[in-house]
Amino acid sequence: MFLCMISAFRYRQWEKVRRAKFNSLLLDLATVLPGYEVEGKERGNTTLKWSKAEVVEKATAYIRALEEVKVAGEVARRVRATRKQNKYIV
């Protein structure tokens, strides 16, 4: 019985640490996203302005937008290179 109580206590402590780390990482992720401002910064007690789901959703959308820009840049670079090559062919 005593052993079960210790195990339950350790699990609760572990879970508390795990949740705190996860929330801290979500806050770090949110702060690098455009349009996010940290609330409570002046008191040192920062909280998420967006819900956890919103942070993940906005991060996913932002990463996809960055990928599109990267692909568009690569296409533009190839077009310029092709035009340059064609200039010498004619």
> C-alpha angle 56/22/36, rounded to 5°?
45
Which stretch of DSSP H or E encloses residue 24? helix 2-31
Confidence category of residue 46, pLDDT binned at 50, 70, 90: low
Confidence category of residue 40, pLDDT binned at 50, 70, 90: low
> How does pLDDT run across 48-85, given as a tens digit for each residue?
789 999 999 999 999 999 999 998 888 888 888 888 88
Which CATH number do you get for residue 47?
4.10.280
26, 55 contact by CB (below 8 A): yes
Average pLDDT, the chain: 84
pTM above 0.85, yes or no: no
* Alpha helices for 32-89 (secondary structure H): 52-89
Confidence category of residue 1, pLDDT binned at 50, 70, 90: low
pLDDT number for residue 48: 73
Q: What is the number of domains present in the chain?
A: 1
Q: Which domain holds residue 47?
A: 2-89
